[in-house]
Chains A and B, each alone.
Chain A
Amino acid sequence: AQSVTQPDIHITVSEGASLELRCNYSYGATPYLFWYVQSPGQGLQLLLKYFSGDTLVQGIKGFEAEFKRSQSSFNLRKPSVHWSDAAEYFCAVVTTSGGSYIPTFGRGTSLIVHP
């Protein structure tokens, strides 16, 4: 069965600093990879996704992520964090099973931004 690991429960950065959130997955093939963001009291919003092709993908709000097959990783990055980026970030993998797409989420990383 597939699994997703987000090793950092909390990350604290200063506004304007760079950010990297880690995500590792376990699956026999290359899954579809997603990053979602959840603000307090809100649903999840898609930041970016990787299906195939260029391993560096660009998303909304200035985020990017890089797929590294050799490391089974899909880390999320942002060069300069804004206070409004404080939220919960979830990595998800989507795999196929019997013709269906099955999503598995990591437990999330809480981003705290200091002014």
Chain B
Amino acid sequence: ETGVTQSPTHLIKTRGQQVTLRCSSQSGHNTVSWYQQALGQGPQFIFQYYREEENGRGNFPPRFSGLQFPNYSSELNVNALELDDSALYLCASSPDSWATEAFFGQGTRLTVV
């Protein structure tokens, strides 16, 4: 049990729609990061937030955006969904930075049809 919870666990959306995925981090964890894991692949880093500011981003287009809130929760928003966005989305929280340890949630399985 990592103390990181994600909701919903599964989601089906139609191409072109928008989706919001949620993550609740451990209390006191100032860093949250989000990942896309396609079937049979490793997690790909989308971005991370430190104390509500984005401070690192992977190779994802601007239609992937996020927010981090003072209560240690965060959101991943994806606009204009494409079929290739179908994947497991993971969030991870860390006490300060990735240099310590990242605690992962169980993920949200997004299917775009």
Residues of A near any B CB (own CB < 8 A): 4, 6, 32, 36, 41-46, 49, 51, 90, 92, 94, 97-108
Contacts and interface: CB of A to CB of B under 8 A. Distances in A.
B74 interface: no
22 contacts: A32-B98, A41-B106, A43-B2, A43-B90, A43-B105, A44-B104, A45-B104, A51-B99, A90-B42, A90-B43, A92-B42, A98-B56, A100-B50, A101-B56, A102-B45, A103-B45, A105-B35, A105-B42, A105-B45, A106-B42, A107-B40, A108-B40
A105 B92 CA distance: 14
A94 B42 contact: no
Scoring B42, B44, B103 by chain A CB atoms within 10 A of each residue's CB, the highest score goes to: B42
Contacts of B48: 100
A54 B109 CA distance: 39
Given A43-B105, A46-B102, A102 B4 contact: no
Contacts of A46: 101-103
A101 B58 CA distance: 11
A93 B4 CA distance: 22
A43 B58 contact: no
Interface in B64-80: none
Nearest to B55: A100
Contact of A49 (B33, B101, B103, B105): B101
Contact of B33 (A6, A90, A103): A103
A99 B55 contact: yes
